[in-house]
A and B are shown apart, each in its own frame.
Chain A
């Protein structure tokens, strides 16, 4: 039986830069033989199309939050990868990207304690991305964010190149939750791959194990009774919209503005690949965290060739019927204003 494959868990609150980080790391030669497991919250997967991979060892899990469905899905995903490995597609490492709402504790616990998983993977470290712009607000408002930071071996403060004025306060807040983790500052996802592939693995592992809860005491374990991150409840919900027709650019902008303004801080995350009427062959990638959006990025073509325009929103109190009604109304108003 071959030795367990080292696995790094990358987690972090919604929009904190997990996918950007992994996409950049996978371009580095040191990580060329890496398989990725992506867990997305929402019925329409998107992140896997934003990570360009030369290999097909990219497994998308779309069954909800991994920390809830837990060991079965993780074990199955690892098994699928191992089968590919046996078919001549070797890889030396696994990177697991969780959802932004995941509690990493049960994942870490499973990797260490589950005999099946433990035979396949050895948990290397937990890397947690923290948005320098919204990190404090997330820490204060969301238990998931606190739990992610609490379990980190290494913390990656993202977007400090955009605004670093709040970094000192954020570090203080982080230190109150997890004073031991190393803190690094990737710029647009660029970071030394050693963060992922180790080098100080033993010390990180030792520290992590000290924080991993005992299954019986479970102080950091996943408790669905006192830990609500929604997943379909009236707390945090995910809405996925497929767009049958191209959107005019002005309608897209007005929709983003209306959504951000109406929802305020309850809009946690918005991402999408959108067919814009003015440039239908170069889909626009939309990324927003609360009310802060990146300028739209234009892809050279549609991932996989299929013209599949969609938006995914995560927030409190969201309903698909309302979002659809808002978008359709704006489309109608723009059409009327432009004489169509």
Chain B
């Protein structure tokens, strides 16, 4: 994960959610602090740990959330930034019925 791809991922996700916030990326790191509606909302970072690479979501005043995948990390971030937003869950429907 390059810092550039991390930036595209976070910026694109917030665009999809229509979250208007200020993003502060750390140079040479996959880390971003998100400010919206005039307050600190969350810090997202991707870190290498001895057991593998993880996503860390830090919300002020809350315990850090650590996730093993980008999908889980974005779910966690959505719950912070736009909990009212409808989500989707892939449902494979067979031709004969659900």
Residues of A within 8 A of B (CB): 133, 161-163, 188, 253-254, 256-258, 260-267, 288, 290-295, 317-319, 321-326, 328-330, 332-333, 336-337
Contacts and interface: CB of A to CB of B under 8 A. Distances in A.
Given A261-B89, A322-B16, A254 B8 contact: no
5 contacts: A161-B96, A162-B97, A265-B86, A295-B95, A319-B12
A155 to B, nearest CB: 21
Q: What DSSP secondary structure best describes chain A's contact surface?
A: helix
**Chain B interface size range:** 20 to 34
A322 B86 CA distance: 19
B11 A322 contact: yes
Given A322-B12, A329-B1, A262 B74 contact: yes
A166 to B, nearest CB: 13
Contacts of B91: 291-293
B31 to A, nearest CB: 15
B96 to A, nearest CB: 8
Contact of B9 (A162, A267, A317, A322): A322
A163 B98 CA distance: 8
Contacts of A188: 95
Contacts of A337: 52
Given A258-B70, A325-B12, A264 B87 contact: yes
A263 B82 CA distance: 12
